[in-house]
Amino acid sequence: MLKRIWRGWTAPADADAYEELLRSTIFPGIKDRAIPGFIGIELLRRSLDTEVEFVTIMRFSDDDAVVRFAGPAKEAVVPPAARVLLSRYETHAAQYELRID
């Protein structure tokens, strides 16, 4: 199994709107794509001094599934509606092989 970890940051005033966009639109849209090998997605959130950090952890069965989701360059997939709310974000996600569960 592979875990794909990505981070993005919002201003505190945009954090709730961004989380709602993820819950109501982006995550359901990913699930609706029915990507073979996509297992699931988690969302983490933490408040920092001047911004709010979000971490997504996606689970895939193998590298081919990641390519089906993100393309051959495996870049971050950040829809335009999310970019409006994010103050900054990683352009690439980190990918890890799950070794112990």
Q: Please, what are the domains in the chain?
A: 2-97 (3.30.70.100)
Question: Which 3 state secondary structure label does DSSP give 18?
Answer: helix
Distances (CA, A) of 64 to 2, 31, 42, 60: 10, 17, 20, 9
Q: Rounded to two decimals, what is the model's pTM?
A: 0.93
First to last CA, the chain: 10
**pLDDT tens digits along 41-72:** 999 999 999 999 999 999 999 999 999 999 98
The pLDDT, as a whole number, for residue 74 is: 86
CB 85 within 8 A of CB 21: yes
